[in-house]
Structure 1
Amino acid sequence: MHRAVELEKDLIQFSVSVITFLKKVEKDIPRSLADQLIRSATSVGANYTEAINGSSKADFKNKIYIAKKEASETKYWLNIIKELCQPENVDELLDEIQKYIMILQKTVNTLNGKTKHEK
């Protein structure tokens, strides 16, 4: 459970980093795009927290899957912002969300009983 708590803390910090990043680029991107990014980025951690505090294995699996989908959506919005205005720090956020996507995908694969070779 220690790793779960560490990942939860990392995801909170990632959400804060995204919000801080958006404050710096808010004049260069549409407000609706910023809102979408905030929703998806904060949803990754929120769903992960729900997963580790879930009431059943099925609940855990569902929330992990949602967290992974939200992480993928976050990557999508970050890439759009990168194309629009080439902001500083966007590559660091993209690297970080890719790391979380991989962690969450590995968890999904484990829950589905898949090995590395079965992807």
Structure 2
Amino acid sequence: MPKTEEAKIIGRQLLRSSSSVGANYRAACRARSQAEFHAKLSIVVEEADESVFWMEILVEAEVVKPNELDYLSDEANQILKIAAASRKTVSAKKY
């Protein structure tokens, strides 16, 4: 990341949302009920989506080149899809 103020601000937001994905997934794995699991997984989906958003902003604001985030964006989108599909499966079981 460049040392610009813009990069620092967006980078901090990306760091917060992406670390929240891991923390909330861990909390979901320790859930005491299916309802709690669903709630935590919903946060994972929201934070993963926000992480993708901040990566898109970095590219659109021309802070980084698109190819510099291709791999991370792809990984984030895969995590988002997996978490969303898992949440859908839990919802179908009518916790």
Tell me the TM-score normalised to structure 1 length.
0.69
Q: What RMSD over aligned residues (CA atoms) do the two structures have, in Å?
A: 1.7
| Aligned residue number for residue 3 of structure 2 | 27
| Aligned residue number for residue 25 of structure 2 | 48
| Aligned residue number for residue 21 of structure 1 | none
1:15-94 matches, within 5 Å, as 25-28=1-4, 30=6, 31-83=8-60, 84-85=62-63, 86=65, 89-94=68-73
Unaligned regions of 5+ residues in structure 2, if any? none
* Aligned length, in residue pairs: 90
Superposed displacement of residue 56, structure 1: 1.5
Higher relative contact order (CA 8 A, sep 6+): 2
Distance 2:58 2:5 in 1: 7
Amino acid paired to 2:23: A
Unaligned regions of 5+ residues in structure 1, if any? 1-24, 115-119
